[in-house]
Amino acid sequence: MFISSAFAQTAPAAAGGDLQSSFMSLLPLVLMFVVLYFVMIRPQMKRQKEHRAMVEALAKGDEVATSGGLVGRVTKLGDTYLGVEIAQGVEVQVQRSAVVQVLPKGSMK
């Protein structure tokens, strides 16, 4: 009365299509990675490459903006640090990687 009848289940199908079903289950994951690569990873690598080229091409007299908001003229070049004159007679040292933009000549007055 309280216990229902139990019926035997049929045996599962042969494993011939198992490889195809496992590949199809991985397909969305692979597609997500491909989309992620083209939308996020590739543009970020391109920006890093452009930034590295800009920092390596710095020369004395270039007017730069730093990530901290300082704007100045490059006076000294080192391997990892730059001397940047931010006002008449005021020079600070900043890391090369802190330079985010090279300004057009004459933008500082």
In a domain, 3, yes or no: no
- Both 24 and 40 in one domain: the answer is yes
Assign 73 to helix, strand or coil: strand
User: HEC string of 43-67?
Assistant: HHHHHHHHHHHHHHCCCCCCEEEEC
Are 74 and 101 in the same domain?
Answer: yes
Q: For residue 9, what pLDDT is reported?
A: 74
> What is the arithmetic mean of pLDDT over 61-83?
95
* Domain tally, the chain: 2
> Model pTM?
0.68
Taking the CA atoms of the chain, what radius of gyration do you get in angstroms?
Answer: 30
